Amino acid sequence: MGIIPEAEWDLDKKFLLSYFNASSKDWRDWRWQFKNRVTRPELLESLLGKTGLNAEKLKAVTSVYPMAATPYYLSLMQTPKINDPVLVQCAPDPREISSSDRAEDDPLQEDCHMPVPKLVHRYPDRCLAIVTELCAVYCRHCNRKRFWSRPNQPGLKTRFQKMIDYLAASPQIREVIISGGDPLIYDDPILEGLLASLRDIPHIEVLRIGSRVPVVMPMRVTKDLCRMLKKYRPLWFNTQFNHPAEITRDSARACHMLQEAGIPVSNQSVLLNGVNNSPEVMKKLLYNLQTISVRPYYLFHCDPARGCTHFRTNPQEGVALMEKIWSQCSGLCLPQYVLDVPGSAGKIPLNAMSKAIKNDLKKHKHFFDKFQ
Ligand SMILES: *Cc1c(COP(=O)(O)O)cnc(C)c1O
């Protein structure tokens, strides 16, 4: 039984502050949020017992795939239910360690495209640097959850120097994506060190940060951080909102501060069974993203990574969902629905294969023929 009586269930900020015996000022401090992440199934059960969570079962999961959720992210839950879309993304699920899961740890074969440890080079002109395996929240659908059990191997200094040496010697690379884990778990001076060394390489024209911090720990986006990041433009920022409940005043403010520093913010969602695979939820998510000036960039078909299988939908269902959305939404709301495949083929747009487009093309054939 949870500590919150049924009728009064509301895992909001007020409740969590009194639970942690903390102040509003603590809540706004990202270090407080990080330090007080819920990482033990027992604590999650005592907070949410009524959802039917069972700590014993979850411990078997967290011994393979650890859990972490900021108090802020937990406060976004809207229902006391085990299928709440926020809880589903951060609470361990016994299906993650199902013995019938035949999926691979590394379906995109990233590990074979690392010329130096943790630098993924799959496309000629851009590279992805995994600068940490730590995150504010461990998303249960993470396609890199294979790294969670051995965080920060090798340590940042060794790994980053090797990356810099490789990048400096590879003039065809013009863009570097700083990713992880979540790079924004580092303090500003460490981050600045990374950005500055990349900026020193003349052929690196564009930097990109991939971080879910605006969604799961928006207080990390401070004035100081934005002032620092601003110096390293052109810098693009990709985050990951998956559900409209994640678009709050706090997350909108974080995105706005980045935008004010001249850093465009785009969104990469993952299509997740039970979270956003209904046209109503997806449409609301995309509309609300447009409202906070965050451009939907990709909607990823969920990768077949071990421990994530229960989040996968079938691609036909995804295409049907996107078809419904295309016909209803402004172009500025529309992400590319893509399937990532190993190697340099990369992200294959699934929307291009939709029946609606084929029919449209047929209908307007005379129009296309005119230009042939
Ligand atoms: C997705 C990805 C990129 C970036 O691809 P874009 O289509 O430019 O967003 C770069 N490197 C790797 C390894 C990736 O998986």
Q: How far is CA 342 from the centre of its chain?
A: 19
Q: Which of 37, 118, 140, 144 is catalytic?
A: 144
Say how far apart CA 72 and CA 15 lie, in whole Å: 11
Q: Which of 118, 122, 159, 306 is catalytic?
A: 122
Which of the listed residues 96, 128, 162 is the one where a domain comes to its end? Answer: 96
- Strand-by-strand arrangement of the 336-340 sheet: 119-123, 126-130, 175-179, 206-210, 235-239, 265-271, 295-301, 336-340, 347-349
Q: Please state the φ and ψ torsions of residue 210, each to the nearest 5 degrees.
A: -110, 115
Q: Which of 90, 93, 118, 142 is catalytic?
A: 142
Contacts for 198 with CB less than 8 Å, ≥ 6 apart: 164, 167, 176, 178, 204, 207, 232
Per-residue pLDDT tens over the stretch 311-324: 999 988 999 999 88
120 lines ligand 1 (CB under 6 A): yes
Known catalytic residue at 340: yes
Same domain, 215 and 291: yes
Judged by DSSP in three states, 178 sits in strand
Known catalytic residue at 112: no
Kindly state whether residue 6 falls inside one of the protein's structural domains.
Answer: no
Please name which of 266, 349, 241, 239 lies closest in space to residue 301, comparing C-alpha atoms: 349
Say how far apart CA 329 and CA 332 lie, in whole Å: 8
What pLDDT, on the 0 to 100 scale, is given for residue 356? 66
Which of the listed residues 40, 66, 96 is the one where a domain comes to its end? Answer: 96
Same domain, 28 and 145: no
Same domain, 76 and 116: no
- Reported pTM: 0.94
How many Å lie between the centroid of ligand 1 and the Cα of residue 128? 7
What pLDDT, on the 0 to 100 scale, is given for residue 181? 95
Collect the ranges in the chain with pLDDT lower than 70: 1-9, 50, 352-357, 360-361, 366-372
Say how far apart CA 188 and CA 332 lie, in whole Å: 32
Domain around 50: 13-96
Same domain, 151 and 270: yes
Per-residue pLDDT tens over the stretch 134-193: 999 999 999 999 999 888 888 999 999 999 999 999 999 999 999 999 999 999 999 999
Same domain, 307 and 365: yes
Same domain, 179 and 314: yes
Known catalytic residue at 139: yes
34 lines ligand 1 (CB under 6 A): no
Contacts for 147 with CB less than 8 Å, ≥ 6 apart: 130, 133, 181
Say how far apart CA 276 and CA 85 lie, in whole Å: 8
Known catalytic residue at 220: no
How many domains are contained in the chain?
2
Known catalytic residue at 144: yes
- Asked if 226 contacts 257 with a C-beta cutoff of 8 angstroms, the reply is yes
Same domain, 244 and 293: yes
Which of the listed residues 46, 68, 96 is the one where a domain comes to its end? Answer: 96
Contacts for 124 with CB less than 8 Å, ≥ 6 apart: 172, 173, 344
CB neighbourhood size of 93 (10 A) = 19
How many Å lie between the centroid of ligand 1 and the Cα of residue 3? 44
Same domain, 88 and 129: no
Half-sphere exposure of 235 (CA within 13 A, CB side): 24
123 lines ligand 1 (CB under 6 A): yes
Q: Whose CA is nearest to atom 8 of ligand 1?
A: 126
Single-letter code of the amino acid located at 339: L
Contacts for 54 with CB less than 8 Å, ≥ 6 apart: 45
